[in-house]
Amino acid sequence: MIKLGWFFLVAFIASAVLTGMLRRYALANSLMDIPNDRSSHEIPTPRGGGLAIVIVFLAGLWVLSEMGLVVQKAMWAVFGAGVWVAAVGFLDDHGHIPARWRLLAHFIGAAWGLYWLGGAPPVAIFGYTITPGWIGQILGLFYLVWLLNLYNFMDGIDGIAGIEAISVCLGAVLLYLTGSEAAGIYALPVLLVMAAAGFLLWNFPPARIFMGDAGSGFLGIVLGLFSIQAAWSAPQYFWSWLILLGVFIVDATLTLFRRWLRGEKVYQAHRSHAYQFASRHYGAHKPVTLAVAAINIVWLIPIALWVGSGGLDGLIGVVLAFCPLLLLAIRFNAGGRETA
């Protein structure tokens, strides 16, 4: 256990150092995010720092696998899908890949991960365990691709994507360690916490480097695969993961739905998410980023633990957790027309 603690500390330091190196590289090669009317920042900022999370996590994943703390199927699921999605994001960061080809690549990565994890897991609803058929497998693919893309959509202000990954994974660790079914899979979310925390040292408001598509897409697919892995250990854990990811799911889904209803191109850059309206309302990114952390810690993690312990049905828990988030998203006009 002591050796594992040192391993996680090294991952944190490595991520922080590597992010700093990527920042210098971006500055030297003019890899800058230039503000425009769709941006939530005002000064040119280096991008691509999320690659540090990718490199450190994947290297740590291999080490944990060699230590016997990650089963081979889970290792190949996360490694293969993670590398593929990060590579697509990296190429998009350095040039441009048409949306249809990005989406196809995302489905390929999701299919790889789902295959190695054994497909979509059983789902517990009102005390009954439902085993998904082929329709369930298709829904599982769309679920992973949606999480991947919503994480990209939600990475629009300083620190929010890193804070989300850290607080969600800390909630998952508590979920696993307080239950008997999945206690053995806590190492992967801890590793992701440390990798994201090292990056966050540079990305916390005011950000000195942005994550980029390579990092945000990677986090989305990995967190999605974590949720499926957990559900294979205990079906109710899938609902717990949905609850933990509630802030991003509600904001991104409502925003996309409202823009789609207006006939807008949902894949085009915009700044009409609730968190973006909120950051303009308060005139800063930090209050919104910290509010996301507070919501996760004070509201979503306790409900996720309640569902994970079997004390509350998962579907009821999701409704309970999401209702205030939906009201908050409506309050900040998620998906509304941009007026500023």
Biggest alpha carbon–alpha carbon distance for the chain: 57
pLDDT at position 31: 84
CA dihedral 75, 80, 86, 87 (to 10 degrees): 150
Burial of 37 (0-12, 13-18, 19+ CB in 10 A): exposed
Structure-token pair, residue 168: 């969600």
- Opening angle at CA 260, ends 258 and 265, nearest 5: 125
pLDDT at position 2: 66
Mean pLDDT (the chain, rounded): 93
Structure-token pair, residue 17: 């150092």
Give the global pTM.
0.95
Q: Which of 245, 238, 224, 223 is nearest to 301 (CA)?
A: 245
State the number of CA atoms in the 13 A half-sphere of 41 facing the CB.
22
Sequential DSSP letters for 133-180: -HHHHHHHHHHHHHHHHHHHHH--STTHHHHHHHHHHHHHHHHHHTSS
Q: Which of 64, 69, 219, 224 is nearest to 141 (CA)?
A: 224
pLDDT at position 126: 84
User: Which of the residues in the chain have pLDDT under 50?
Assistant: none
Distance of CA 274 to the CA centre of its chain: 17
* Other Cβ atoms closer than 10 A to 269: 11
Structure-token pair, residue 82: 């993670």
pLDDT at position 43: 82
